[in-house]
């Protein structure tokens, strides 16, 4: 497929290879960790979850260091669909069936609070648009009805929807944003508030009071690990709890062919798309069409899934605009509806494994881990299953 041979620098007509559509702005970059530093808390992972943890720690008056193996939001946090959906990845009725209504509703409410915090902070061009869950067939319509009934019974905002996108559910308070820009702004704000942040500093060893990278070492009172995909590589003891998968997207040049007021989440969330403020269509999904190959730590787009995305773009969405970006990233899947929230290695607080939907629940988890690292209680930590 010609698109997969495009260059990262994006000549003429070739899609930008493995560069997300969100990467429009300048990023000056952060230093590598060199030598020994001390901190109250070290946060490993500068995606949305780790940056939320950092801000919680700053709110609590901690002296903090943050390190990332690559660049800020170089993982899923800066390469995702940009949908800010309340709840965990599982639909509310499924979460309620596993956790009980009370706990699932409490978790949903926490993600709503996280969304309101994001909208108030105004980072990443966040816009409240609402979101749609559109059913792909009659069986899914029935599932939408079951979800709506559970949400109404639990007092959560949703209504039936029928419109040009199809039929399903409308969640009126959800939002969209540029996820990479959000993280870059959160990192800049954290640095302004006194956090010392380091990029290109992969962690090689860690335990409760020490984090070791190639170039330096952080001695600290506590450690937070906030890593979604490839968490099992950093902490092999979690290999039975979380599994890394690849998710893929593409984006087009600006087009009038698709008019969308709000993002769409379709076929049980396997597909998702939005129209960016610049008029580009950003479309992801079809992980299941890639089969076993998508259970990989490789974060490069593959022909099988990209071809399926392209077919959906052309045949279902009727968009013929040129494809300008194709990209992939890693996320973590757990065996249930909850992510990982664990304490390991003498007090390392670990969060990740959001089952493909982590923008809001990751922020909740990151802040919860930060509170625990400071020796404080956290209702969110307990709701997430943390010890
Ligand atoms: C294509 C795609 C589309 C998605 N769409 C949506 C969506 O629309 N809505 C939604 O809610 N969710 C979506 N998700 C999921 C969401 O992106 C993630 O759950 C979320 O961004 C995870 O953020 P994080 O900060 O927890 O982890 P990550 O983004 O994984 O960040 C962890 C950071 O840790 C760093 N790291 C890893 N190992 C080490 C190490 N050894 N040393 C130092 N640093 C390390 C990584 O470099 C990375 O920067 C999507 C994901 C993908 C891939």
**What per-residue confidence (pLDDT) applies to 12?**
54
Q: Beginning with the edge strand found earlier in the chain, give each strand of the sheet holding 175-176 in spatial order.
A: 83-84, 175-176, 127-128
CA-wise closest residue to 177 among 87, 82, 261? 82
Is ligand 1 within 6 A of the CB of residue 81?
A: yes
Contact status, residue 226 vs residue 44, Cβ threshold 8 Å: yes
Residue in 27, 343, 318 with CA at minimum distance from that of residue 197:
27
The rounded Å distance from CA 267 to ligand 1 centre is 22
Q: Among the listed ranges 14-28, 145-159, 286-300, 315-329, which one has the minimum average pLDDT value? A: 14-28
* Cβ of residue 80 lying under 6 Å from some atom of ligand 1: yes
What average pLDDT score do residues 330-341 get? Answer: 98
Q: Which atom of ligand 1 is nearest to the CA of 229?
A: 30
Ligand 1 geometric centre to CA of 64 (Å): 21
Q: Ligand 1, closest atom to CA 351?
A: 26
Give the model's pLDDT for residue 9: 45
Task: Please state the rounded mean pLDDT for residues 285-303.
Answer: 96
Q: Ligand 1: which of 29, 42, 73, 81 to mutate, most ligand atoms within 8 Å of CB? A: 81
Q: How large a percentage of the chain has pLDDT more than 90?
A: 94
Is residue 203 within 6 Å of ligand 1 at its C-beta? yes
Separation of CA 77 and ligand 1 centre (Å): 4
User: Does ligand 1 come within 6 angstroms of the Cβ of 129?
Assistant: no
Q: Strand order of the sheet with strand 264-266?
A: 16-17, 323-333, 243-252, 281-284, 271-275, 264-266, 131-134, 166-171, 159-163
Report the separation in Å between the CA atom of 47 and the middle of ligand 1, taken as the mean of its atom positions: 6
Percent of the chain predicted with pLDDT > 70: 97
DSSP-assigned letter for residue 354: -
Given a contact cutoff of 8 angstroms between Cβ atoms, the answer to whether 87 and 107 are in contact is: yes
CA 229–ligand 1 middle distance (angstroms): 6
- Expressed in angstroms and rounded, the spacing between residue 152 Cα and the centre of ligand 1 is 31
Identify which of 27, 45, 325 to mutate to test ligand 1's pocket (most ligand atoms within 8 A of the CB): 45
Torsions phi, psi for 91 (to 5 deg): -65, 155
List, for residues 182-220, the tens digit of each pLDDT value: 999 999 999 999 999 999 999 999 999 999 999 999 999
pLDDT classification of 26: cutoffs 50, 70, 90: confident
Is 90 exceeded by the pLDDT of residue 118?
yes
The radius of gyration computed from the CA coordinates of the chain, to the nearest angstrom, equals: 20
Residues 227 and 55: their CA atoms lie apart, in Å, by 16
Question: Dihedral through CA 350, CA 354, CA 359, CA 365, nearest 10?
Answer: -30
Three-state secondary structure call for residue 132? strand
Ligand 1 neighbour 317 (Cβ under 6 A): no
Q: At 47, is the secondary structure helix, strand, or coil?
A: coil
Query: Does 176 sit in the ligand 1 pocket, CB within 6 Å?
Result: no
- C-alpha distances in angstroms, 75 versus 11, 44, 306, 328? 24, 13, 19, 9
The model carries a pTM of 0.96
Pocket test for ligand 1, best of 23, 33, 47 (most atoms within 8 A of CB): 47
Can you read off the two tokens belonging to residue 153? 């019974």
Q: Is the CB of 70 under 6 A from ligand 1?
A: yes
**For residue 42, pLDDT beyond 90:** yes
Q: Is the pLDDT of residue 271 over 60?
A: yes
């Amino acid at each position: 497929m010609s698109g997969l041979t495009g260059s990262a620098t994006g000549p003429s007509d070739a899609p930008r290879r493995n560069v997300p559509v969100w990467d429009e702005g300048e990023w000056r970059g952060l230093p590598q960790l060199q030598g020994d530093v001390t901190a109250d808390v070290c946060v490993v992972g500068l995606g949305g979850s780790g940056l939320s943890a950092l801000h919680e720690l700053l709110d609590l008056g901690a002296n903090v260091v943050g390190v990332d193996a690559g660049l800020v939001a170089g993982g899923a946090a800066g390469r995702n669909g940009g949908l800010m959906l309340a709840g965990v990845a599982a639909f509310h009725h499924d979460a309620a069936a596993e956790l009980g209504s009370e706990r699932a509703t409490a978790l949903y409410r926490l993600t709503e609070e996280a969304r309101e915090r994001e909208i108030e902070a105004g980072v990443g061009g966040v816009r409240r648009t609402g979101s749609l869950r559109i059913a792909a067939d009659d069986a899914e319509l029935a599932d939408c009805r079951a979800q709506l009934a559970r949400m109404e019974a639990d007092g959560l905002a949703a209504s039936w929807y029928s419109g040009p996108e199809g039929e399903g559910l409308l969640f009126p308070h959800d939002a969209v944003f540029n996820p990479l820009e959000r993280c870059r702004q959160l990192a800049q704000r954290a640095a302004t508030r006194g956090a010392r942040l380091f990029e290109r500093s992969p962690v090689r060893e860690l335990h409760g009071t020490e984090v070791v990278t190639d170039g330096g070492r952080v001695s600290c009172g506590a450690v937070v690990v906030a890593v979604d995909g490839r968490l099992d590589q950093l902490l092999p003891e979690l290999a039975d709890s979380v599994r890394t998968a690849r998710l893929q997207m593409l984006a087009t040049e600006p087009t009038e062919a698709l008019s969308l007021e709000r993002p769409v989440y379709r076929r049980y969330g396997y597909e998702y798309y939005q129209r960016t403020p610049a008029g580009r269509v950003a479309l992801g999904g079809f992980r299941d069409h890639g089969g076993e190959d998508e259970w990989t730590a490789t974060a490069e787009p593959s022909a099988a899934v990209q071809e399926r995305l392209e077919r959906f773009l052309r045949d279902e969405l009727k968009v013929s605009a040129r494809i300008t970006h194709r990209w992939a990233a890693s996320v973590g899947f757990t065996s249930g509806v909850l992510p990982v929230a664990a304490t390991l290695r003498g007090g390392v607080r670990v969060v990740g494994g959001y089952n493909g939907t982590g923008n809001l629940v990751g922020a909740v988890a990151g802040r919860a881990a930060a509170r625990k690292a400071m020796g404080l209680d956290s209702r969110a930590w307990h709701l997430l299953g943390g010890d």
